[in-house]
């Protein structure tokens, strides 16, 4: 126990004293690699499935909204517990952090098992609800049935990854994620074409790789994490679930509304006549995968920022939080600007990599170029959301999380296609990005203005004592 506590002390000291640029680079590089590799294997899934036909490509896009919902619940528990753990590490309350880690992990496994059962029982109506046409439905059902079976492994992996990342062990977490992603890429052609499993093969590749990631992450957590998950620390009380929801609801909103947005996008595209509907769903599915890949670099910066933010905020070192935020802003803006220019210039060829169908390429080209024009605005929107979430401002964080694909995208995707047809489907996300940036600026800036000085010792101690309520016992 003394050795474990010494490791915890060293981790907190490191996160609260090392120069910010060095910390962000060390925390961000592994998460950027994890995010890029994860996005890449999602893209590879779509590319291999695209070799089957347009309906199979569209089916993966339809199923993506269900996967996004599974991820949303995972992030609720993973980010909710991770935010709390990072603040308790800053306050040096290690026992409390251990209880939170175990409670979130074992709870999400139970939720995953429930989703597995429900998905198996209602896979056909779920596929229809997600926007499948009659020609897409058989592919979507084959894919979703397998994905629901793997829900406990997928959700457990996300929680373990996020908890270790918030402890500052991003490199360790990266090992599990990247191993699973590489395995997925290797299994895709083998299962889809070698064993002739078709679209179900892509789903099995995802589930098997996630099961390997889960096993590896659990082993790494038990051997190398400062805060380990253990059944004896499982504490299913209202206090811990309240803090999971308080810290995780913004992530649930961000990911969950993304699932709703994808469903509405598919439904809007489905209103196109005949075969054009399948082409529109396939095109927008491809655009979503490409933009997710570009956003991965930004999210990686943000995820590198979160453990630095949470631990320093818990220790009362607010000026370091502010410095880290603006450092990530500069780096994120530079990277996303370059990616946006490349995406705009090569929009057509990029779409064609996934599905070489003239209709799919034509529809996707305009949608991708429109989003590239305003992509750089997402830097502030996403980092602002991560800042507010990590420091415990759940309401403001939830608003910024809902803005991009909820508050603005949902009404736009419902109204613009009625007024503009397919063009409205292609332009809705671009307009939503502009509006969400405008909303996020005052919400984030007001908080940043208060972080011009560190907390004095008495204030920091008061904050720690307030967090350690007797109700958690």
Res. 409: pLDDT tops 80: yes
Neighbouring residues of 342: CB distance < 8 A, sequence distance ≥ 6 = none
Which residue bears the tokens 């920091």?
A: 460
Res. 469: pLDDT tops 60: no
Number of Cβ within 10 Å of residue 392's Cβ equals 17
Report pLDDT digits (tens) over 331-390. 888 888 998 999 999 999 989 887 778 888 898 999 999 999 999 999 999 899 889 988
CA 356 to centroid of chain Cα atoms: 29
Residue 68 lies in a domain: yes
Region at 140 (left for phi over 0; alpha for psi -120 to 50; beta for the rest): alpha
Domain that holds residue 51: 11-465
Res. 203: pLDDT tops 70: yes
Closest to 156 (Cα-Cα) out of 238, 212, 87: 212
Residue 6 lies in a domain: no
Q: Report yes or no: 412 and 356 within 8 Å, Cβ to Cβ.
A: no
Residue 310 lies in a domain: yes
Residue 461 confidence (pLDDT): 46
Residue 245 lies in a domain: yes
Least confident of 14-23, 171-180, 458-467: 458-467
Share of the chain above pLDDT 70, in %: 92
At 211, the pLDDT band (50, 70, 90 cuts) reads: very high
Q: What SS3 class is residue 449?
A: coil
Report pLDDT digits (tens) over 114-162. 999 999 899 999 988 887 878 888 999 999 999 999 999 999 998 998 8
Residue 468 confidence (pLDDT): 43
What is the chain's mean pLDDT, rounded?
A: 84
Residue 470 lies in a domain: no
Report pLDDT digits (tens) over 27-64. 888 878 777 777 776 677 777 887 777 778 778 877 87
Residue 144 lies in a domain: yes
Q: What SS3 class is residue 408?
A: coil
Domain count, the chain: 1
Residue 64 lies in a domain: yes
DSSP class of residue 1 equals -
Residues in the chain: 473
* DSSP string over 77-90: HHHHHHHHHHHHHH
Residue 372 confidence (pLDDT): 94
Q: How far apart are CA 417 and CA 275, in angstroms?
A: 18
Q: How far apart are CA 374 and CA 337, in angstroms?
A: 9
Residue 5 lies in a domain: no
1 vs 7, 102, 228, 230, 274, CA distance in Å?
A: 10, 17, 12, 14, 66
Report pLDDT digits (tens) over 151-197. 999 999 989 988 888 887 777 778 887 888 889 888 988 998 888 88
Report pLDDT digits (tens) over 425-459. 889 999 999 999 999 999 988 888 888 888 755 44
Residue 7 confidence (pLDDT): 60
């Amino acid at each position: 126990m003394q050795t474990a506590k010494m490791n915890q002390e060293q981790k907190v000291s490191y996160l609260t004293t090392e120069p910010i640029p060095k910390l962000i680079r060390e925390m961000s590089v592994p998460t950027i690699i994890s995010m890029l590799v994860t996005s890449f294997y999602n893209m590879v899934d779509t590319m291999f499935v695209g070799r089957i036909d347009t309906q199979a490509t569209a089916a993966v896009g339809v199923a993506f909204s269900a996967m996004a919902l599974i991820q949303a619940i995972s992030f609720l528990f993973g980010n909710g517990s991770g935010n709390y753990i990072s603040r308790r590490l800053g306050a040096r309350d290690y026992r409390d952090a251990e209880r939170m880690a175990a409670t979130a992990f074992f709870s999400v496994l139970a939720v995953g098992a429930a989703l597995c059962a429900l998905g198996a029982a209602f896979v056909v109506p779920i596929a229809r609800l997600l926007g499948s046409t009659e020609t897409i439905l058989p592919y979507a059902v084959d894919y979703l049935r397998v994905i629901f079976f793997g829900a406990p492994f997928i959700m457990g992996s996300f929680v373990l990854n996020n908890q270790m990342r918030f402890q500052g062990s991003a490199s360790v977490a990266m090992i599990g994620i990247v191993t699973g992603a590489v395995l997925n890429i290797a299994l895709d052609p083998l299962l889809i074409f070698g064993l002739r499993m078709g679209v179900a093969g892509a789903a099995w590749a995802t589930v098997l790789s996630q099961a390997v990631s889960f096993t590896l992450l659990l082993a790494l957590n038990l051997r190398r994490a400062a805060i380990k998950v253990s059944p004896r620390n499982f504490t299913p009380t209202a206090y811990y679930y309240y803090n999971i929801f308080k810290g995780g609801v913004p992530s649930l909103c961000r990911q969950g509304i993304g699932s709703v947005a994808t469903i509405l996008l598919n439904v809007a595209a489905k209103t196109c006549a005949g075969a054009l509907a399948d082409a529109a769903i396939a095109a927008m599915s491809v655009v979503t995968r490409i933009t997710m890949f570009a956003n991965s670099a930004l999210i990686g910066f943000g995820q590198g920022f979160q453990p630095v933010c949470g631990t320093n905020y818990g220790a009362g070192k607010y000026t370091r939080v502010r410095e880290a935020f603006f450092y990530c802003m500069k780096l994120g803006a530079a990277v996303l600007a370059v990616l946006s220019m490349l995406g705009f210039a090569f929009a057509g060829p990029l779409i064609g990599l996934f599905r070489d169908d003239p209709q799919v390429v034509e529809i996707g080209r305009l949608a991708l170029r429109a989003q590239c024009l305003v992509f750089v605005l997402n830097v502030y929107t996403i980092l602002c959301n991560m800042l507010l979430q990590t420091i415990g401002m759940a309401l403001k964080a939830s608003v910024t999380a809902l803005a991009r694909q909820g508050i603005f995208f949902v009404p736009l995707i419902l109204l613009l296609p009625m007024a503009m047809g397919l063009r409205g489907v292609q332009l809705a996300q671009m307009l939503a990005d502009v509006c969400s940036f405008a909303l996020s600026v005052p919400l984030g800036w007001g908080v940043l203005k208060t972080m011009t000085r560190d907390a004095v010792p008495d204030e920091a101690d008061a904050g720690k004592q307030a967090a350690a309520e007797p109700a958690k016992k």
